Amino acid sequence: MAKARTLDRRRRSISGIRKITRTMELISTAQFKRAMTRATTAAAYTERVTALVGHLARSGLEVSHPLLEPRPEPKLATLLVLTGNRGMCAGYNAGVIRQGVARYRELATVASDVALEVSGKRGISAFRFRKIPIDVEFTHFEDKPSFAEVDVLAERYLQDFTAGKLDRLDVAYTRFKSVSHQQAVVETLLPFHVGQVDNLSYKGHETQYEFLPSAAGILDEVVPMSFRVRLFKCFLDAAVSEQVARMVAMKAATENADEMISHLSMAYNRARQGQITNELLEIIGGADALNG
Amino acid sequence: MQCIVVTPERTVFDRPADFVALTLYDGEIGIAPQHAPMIGRLGCGEMRVAADGQTDRYYVEGGFVEVLDDVVSVLTRHAVAAGELDEAVIAERLFAARSRRATNPEAIEIRDRAVFQARAQLHVARRA
């Protein structure tokens, strides 16, 4: 009976695992939907801000701002890496970490001082493992990063950049393109680039706006605002991508578990039948011997 | 007239209004229906939305207001109903901002802005 029992035990443990992966899949599906709604809202906001910049550009204003000025020889750079707090999401964390480490090495050759800021337990342990010192660690950005939390970071970067304590800010995160496509990327957020203003299509409205205080005055505020929103968007994208990655990974795991369970069931049944046949043969053999 | 308030996180509200008062960078602006197209920079302070004889009050911090086709869109990074502000918390924040050390012009500017925001918030909270 030994073999059949081992098979049965394995089958039970796998169906336990299946329960976990199935639950995780459901949870991440729900979280993904929520995160997606938030990302859509933020995208709508970004669109409005970009449209605003478009209106400004159309009023004949030269788009220039201290945050937009390139700094040819960056000395003080910061790299922000956004990873998840948890695993079970296939290559999601590994992808971001790979990009982050590569950019860190690259920055270290250019800049004299590179500060590394990592969000997420997975990223923190990965950088520790590589013996790369982390300057700031965050673990409080879960699947629902709030604008107020991200704004604290944005404010600090803006202050440092204006005060000359920061020349360049890079963010490594997973960009969410669609449900089937996410990509780990590194983006330079400071010095800032305003989205392609020239490519905006001005259909319909040829409205003359009144600017209060002036087009230039609005621009002074638009640029930092766009930066804040862009940084927030990075966090949201990372959150959405993590949920998608987990959803897909857990779906695959559940399917694999199903397949394995059916294999094991078959093996178990066969083993059980074999044992019964064996026992019958023994009984028949014993009876024959007695009669003989 | 339609009034829409959006923050990066959510649409705070989207509803009809008879009159909207907002704090711009240098003072208050009142927007009645059929206002001319306008883009304005917001300051920190109170926003009042009057509809059906009832006025709701909010605290709005920074951002822009755009008036176009009888729609007032407010893009801000922070918008809360005045009733949700906690006076004690804000007073504490004001104190922290005021006691921050600032030794160069940039730092002084940053500090002043923090103090100004906290004061504006406190003002709205006290009126509630």
Mean pLDDT of B95-104: 85
Predicted confidence (pLDDT) per residue in A153-173, tens digit: 998 999 889 888 899 999 999
CA dist., res. B78 & res. B45, Å (int): 11
The partner residue sitting opposite B64, judged by closest CB among A52, A208, A210, is: A52
| Interchain pair A217, B63: CB under 8 A | no
pLDDT for the residue numbered A196: 46
pLDDT for the residue numbered B90: 86
Q: Where residue A203 falls among pLDDT bands split at 50, 70, 90?
A: very low
Mean pLDDT of B16-41: 92
Structural domains of chain A ordered from first start: 2-24+254-280 (1.10.287), 28-197+209-247 (3.40.1380.10)
For an interface test with B, which of A52, A65, A205, A212 has the most B Cβ atoms less than 10 Å from its Cβ? A212
Residue B95 has, within 13 A of its CA and on its CB side, a CA count of 6
Query: Prior bond to A213 cis, omega within 30?
Result: yes
Which helix (H) or strand (E) segment holds residue B21: the answer is strand B19-23
Mean pLDDT of A96-100: 94
- CATH superfamily of domain region B2-82: F0F1 ATP synthase delta/epsilon subunit, N-terminal (2.60.15.10)
Of A172, A190, A185, the closest CA to residue A81 belongs to A172
Query: Prior bond to A191 cis, omega within 30?
Result: yes
- Bridge partners for B39 per DSSP: A211, B66
| Token pair in block for residue A181 | 């496509």
For residues B47 and B60, the answer to whether their CB atoms sit within 8 Å is: yes
CA-based nearest distance B54→chain A, Å: 28
The partner residue sitting opposite B68, judged by closest CB among A207, A222, A225, is: A207
| Interchain pair A52, B78: CB under 8 A | no
| Interchain pair B41, A213: CB under 8 A | yes
CA dist., res. A200 & res. A195, Å (int): 9
State the maximum Cα–Cα separation within chain B, in Å, rounded to a whole number: 51
Residues from chain B contacting residue A159 (CB–CB below 8 Å)? 106, 110
Q: Where residue A128 falls among pLDDT bands split at 50, 70, 90?
A: very high
For residues B84 and B69, the answer to whether their CB atoms sit within 8 Å is: no
In the predicted model, what is the mean pLDDT of chain B?
88
Mean pLDDT of A166-190: 91
In the predicted model, what is the mean pLDDT of chain A?
87
| Interchain pair A42, B104: CB under 8 A | no
Mean pLDDT of B112-117: 86
Choose the weakest-confidence range: A67-76, A116-125, A199-208, A270-279. Answer: A199-208
- HEC-encoded secondary structure of A2-15: HHHHHHHHHHHHHH
Q: Where residue A104 falls among pLDDT bands split at 50, 70, 90?
A: very high
pLDDT surpasses 80 at A119: yes
CA-based nearest distance A163→chain B, Å: 6
pLDDT for the residue numbered A197: 47
| Token pair in block for residue B58 | 């909010």
pLDDT surpasses 70 at A112: yes
Contacts for A200 with CB less than 8 Å, ≥ 6 apart: A50, A51, A54, A57
The structure's pTM equals 0.83
| Interchain pair A207, B37: CB under 8 A | yes
CA dist., res. A238 & res. A84, Å (int): 8
Residues from chain A contacting residue B62 (CB–CB below 8 Å)? 221, 225
For residues A141 and A171, the answer to whether their CB atoms sit within 8 Å is: no
CA dist., res. A76 & res. A161, Å (int): 10
| Interchain pair B7, A45: CB under 8 A | yes
Predicted confidence (pLDDT) per residue in A129-149, tens digit: 999 999 999 998 888 888 888
CA-based nearest distance A196→chain B, Å: 20
